[in-house]
Amino acid sequence: MAAEISRWMIPVHGYAAKQAKDHLTSYSFERREPRDHDVVIEIQYCGICHSDIHQVSDEWGGSTFPMVPGHEIAGIVSQVGTKTSRYKVGDSVGVGCFVDSCRKCSPCRRGLEQYCVEGCTLTYNGVERDGKTPTQGGYSNKIVVDENYVLRIPDNLPLDSAAPLMCAGITLYSPLMHWKAGPGKKVAIIGFGGLGHMGIKIAHALNAEVTVLSHSLKKQEDAKRMGADHFYATSDPKTFEKLKGYFDLIVNTVSVELDLSKYTNLLALDGTMVIVGLPEKEMSIGAFSLISARRSLAGSVIGGIPETQEMLHFCNKHNISCDIELIPIQKVNEAYQRVVNSDVRYRFVIDMKSLKQK
Ligand code: NAP
Ligand code: ZN
Ligand code: ZN
């Protein structure tokens, strides 16, 4: 008689929201035994993305609970399936926002799994390809992932400050590359938080001229240290007069609704504003702010596995990682409130060793 295949065998400990808007608390669950192409990762660090907060609060709708958030995962491979070829025990690896996709559609075949026509399998708050098994994220001590959806973290990148590259890093790298930020290009980053600070560093490394549009001048010195050429407060109406028609590319990372027309007016002829921030409510835009200079409004979501790997090599080469505040998991709820208050410099990262503390 064939032995019954036992799934959900690996005991895992983490933090979960038991229902929408709940505080995160200790939570035990199980993950599958590794399949042939899986790796088991001992999670060392996990970044706190504002998307975690949107989803725990069910601001986008459709959240499922209990929810273990976390898609900025860095850890060490501790076990491999029988047919894995890319990774071995002891490798430093990362996992980002998705852990699977259909693998057949045109975007998947092009390595753009984030645009999978069937929808990629989100690392948490999603379901596996079986259509029913819920996924759980990185605020936990272990994760089991198909090796094709795992990233290699270059040896010189510290694991703690590399963890947020899996989302914040690639979310800025991808549009900056796609819309060709580089020498002679004037790039603005709206919102100087987790995503925004990576935008400054990457656009600077690409030799673009970088301007930060932040709601106050409070963080100006930090931005300059990270490579920003200019810094303006959006609370000052003069900013919008002075910078009218100036930028080739604007990346909007803000987590709340903005008056988009005010910002598109800052674009030069043929300029593009890319939205990556994902506020709860819809935003509208005035047609005249687009037509008056043949401007484009675009959007971008994270990046595919090949481009995420490319981004990690780029960051390694340019000595780029995230500015982080390392916290024990017991402080996660406090950290959430500080992110909502824009009081983060510039990414909270959970040290998973703290899971062992009471
Ligand atoms: P974050 O660290 O909280 O940064 C957001 C920034 O937005 C803040 O630092 C702040 O910048 C600005 N902001 C926040 N509240 C504001 C307010 N009331 N008025 C004006 N500005 C405000 O968040 P994050 O992790 O970078 O994420 C940013 C957004 O991107 C979130 O909506 C997240 O869900 C989304 N996201 C999208 C993708 C994607 O693939 N498209 C990936 C990851 C995250 P200043 O202080 O400089 O004004
Ligand atoms: Zn994220
Ligand atoms: Zn697909």
Q: Which ligand 1 atom minimizes the distance to the CA of 53?
A: 34
- Give the model's confidence band at 5: pLDDT under 50 very low, under 70 low, under 90 confident, else very high: very low
Q: Which of 120, 231, 253 to mutate to test the pocket of ligand 1 (most atoms within 8 A of CB)?
A: 253
Give the per-residue pLDDT at 1. Answer: 40
Flag whether pLDDT at 23 surpasses 70. yes
**Helix (H/G/I), strand (E/B), else coil: 148:** helix
Distance between CA 236 and CA 233 in Å, rounded? Answer: 6
- Give the model's confidence band at 7: pLDDT under 50 very low, under 70 low, under 90 confident, else very high: low
- Give the model's confidence band at 4: pLDDT under 50 very low, under 70 low, under 90 confident, else very high: very low
Q: Which residues line ligand 1 (CB under 6 A)?
A: 49-51, 54, 167, 171, 191-196, 214-215, 253-256, 276-279, 301-302, 339, 342, 344
Flag whether pLDDT at 3 surpasses 70. no
Flag whether pLDDT at 176 surpasses 80. yes
Flag whether pLDDT at 219 surpasses 70. yes
Q: Look over the chain and give the mean of its residue pLDDT values, rounded to a whole number.
A: 96
Flag whether pLDDT at 283 surpasses 50. yes
Q: Which ligand 1 atom minimizes the distance to the CA of 192?
A: 47
Q: Which ligand is nearest to the CA of 123?
A: 2
Give the per-residue pLDDT at 57. Answer: 98
- Give the model's confidence band at 358: pLDDT under 50 very low, under 70 low, under 90 confident, else very high: low
- Give the model's confidence band at 352: pLDDT under 50 very low, under 70 low, under 90 confident, else very high: very high
- Strands 347-351 and 38-47, how do they pair? antiparallel
Query: Mean pLDDT across the stretch 108-117?
Result: 98
Closest protein CA for atom 9 of ligand 1: 193
Q: Which of 195, 252, 307 to mutate to test the pocket of ligand 1 (most atoms within 8 A of CB)?
A: 195
Query: Mean pLDDT across the stretch 135-145?
Result: 98
Distance 8 CA to ligand 1 centre (A): 35
Q: Which ligand is nearest to the CA of 57?
A: 1
Distance 125 CA to ligand 3 centre (A): 18
Selected residue with higher pLDDT from 146 and 5? 146
pLDDT in tens, 304-339: 999 999 999 999 999 999 999 999 999 999 999 999
Long-range contacts of 277-286 (CB under 8 A, 24+ apart): 277/190, 277/191, 277/195, 277/252, 277/253, 278/51, 278/54, 278/60, 279/254, 279/255, 280/54, 280/59, 280/60, 281/257, 282/257, 283/257, 283/258, 284/260, 285/260, 285/261, 286/261
Selected residue with higher pLDDT from 208 and 1? 208
Give the per-residue pLDDT at 356. Answer: 87
Query: What sign does the CA torsion over 77, 305, 45, 30 have?
Result: negative
Q: Which ligand is nearest to the CA of 71?
A: 2
The residue to which tokens 């100087």 are assigned: 192
- Give the model's confidence band at 269: pLDDT under 50 very low, under 70 low, under 90 confident, else very high: very high
Flag whether pLDDT at 295 surpasses 60. yes
- Give the model's confidence band at 286: pLDDT under 50 very low, under 70 low, under 90 confident, else very high: very high
CB atoms within 10 A of CB 228: 27
